[in-house]
Amino acid sequence: MNITPRKIHYVSGSRADFGLMARSLQHLAAQPSFDIGVVVTGQHLIAQYGDTRADIIDAGLTVVADIPVTLTGHDGAEMGHALAEELAGFLRLWHRTPPDLVLVLGDRGEMLAAALAAVHLGLPVAHLHGGEVSGTLDESLRHAISKLSHYHFTATQEAATRLTRMGEDPAHVWVVGAPGLVGLTEGIDHDPAWLGRTFGVPAARHHILVMFHPVVQEATAAGAQMQIIVDLLAARDCAGILMRPNSDAGGAAIDAVLDRAATALPGFVICDHMSRPAYLRTLAHVDMLIGNSSSGIIESASFDLPCLNIGTRQDARQRNKNVVDCPQIDPATLASAFYKATKLTGPFENLYGDGQAHVYLSALLQRLVLDPAHLSKRMTY
């Protein structure tokens, strides 16, 4: 008997979310029970952020639509306009060709726009990485997406418990682990010459990967915060890679600091974009990850890599033991935290799962009953 594949649209707005989901999406797409399509928007379609739509094609996945927006990292109004444009784009797309299920991840504006569009069109939404906290605007967006979603695939039991305390139906909440851990360290061997050969990074006492993004509520301070990080590195025997920030308000100010950093940091290379395989290999070859990316919170422990987590962007998220926090961004506090991070040694256990999220997700999506009654949500308390 022929069974019509379940049509699932995954929404992707940047290298960040796609890198986390790529292996799981490939696993789902390889199965005849699923028809997987990717709706592309946000930074993926902007040259400044690497034109990363090509990463999706190179992964062998099908792009079903492009929804372009304008994002430069200038201010919050720009982010709000982009969300509105994405909402309109999702509505046009899914009114014309609705999927059986919309799949979203995390806390970004495009994910909220997708969830809003889906519920207005009577489409069920499944949310990955819901129930986590950070204390910034990202947390508000994450919880809003969860309240608009009908099915939840969390990274930890703590996150699942939080969702049920928020009134979500426990029968629709499953712990699958972080999808970004799928195949994370496969095929990566340590080669001491790799950083120099690949990026031209010179020898140094500390090889560092820096990923620092703006916090929307602190956008006016973003440039000064980045400068403190640059000054820290310039005063030490460090070399490595500085990644450009995302498109949130304050990103342009961070970019301006990075543009001026070449003289102060001659041992560092500035990267607009790095493919997922290159990024994972970089994690395996540096001595520390510095910044405020969720990658430091979730992925770096699997590489036994110390993470110096700076500022408030990941505030209150569950920590692995490889993380040193520096919530206050000033030279003295950052210097002390850096020293502490240099003393950390693995191995580190990763509380975000066993790297099998793709298997659990596939099994759950295959047996998931998409009952129209689930679209009418009600608080469980």
User: How confident is the model at residue 203, as a pLDDT?
Assistant: 95
CB count within 10 Å of CB 376 equals: 7
CB count within 10 Å of CB 196 equals: 15
- H or E element in which residue 35 lies: strand 34-41
DSSP 365: H
Residues 332, 344: Cα–Cα separation, whole Å: 19
DSSP 4: P
Give the pTM: 0.92
Residues 296, 271: Cα–Cα separation, whole Å: 18
User: How confident is the model at residue 134, as a pLDDT?
Assistant: 87
> Which residues, including other chains, have CB under 8 Å from residue 95's CB and lie 6 or more apart?
121
Q: Give the residue carrying structure tokens 């029968």.
A: 171
Contact by Cβ (8 Å): 204, 239:
yes
> Which residues, including other chains, have CB under 8 Å from residue 303's CB and lie 6 or more apart?
184, 185, 283, 284
The token pair that represents 376 in the structure block: 């009418």
Contact by Cβ (8 Å): 27, 8:
no
User: How confident is the model at residue 288, as a pLDDT?
Assistant: 98
User: How confident is the model at residue 2, as a pLDDT?
Assistant: 63
Strands 151-154 and 173-175: parallel
One pLDDT digit (tens) per residue for the chain, 381 residues: 567 999 999 999 999 999 999 999 999 999 999 999 999 999 999 998 988 999 999 999 999 999 999 999 989 999 999 999 999 999 999 999 999 999 999 999 999 999 999 999 999 999 999 999 987 889 999 999 999 999 999 999 999 999 999 999 999 999 999 999 999 999 998 899 999 999 999 999 999 999 999 999 999 999 999 999 999 999 999 999 999 999 899 999 999 999 999 889 999 999 998 989 999 999 999 999 999 999 999 999 999 999 999 999 999 899 999 999 999 999 999 999 999 999 999 999 999 999 999 999 999 999 999 999 999 999 988
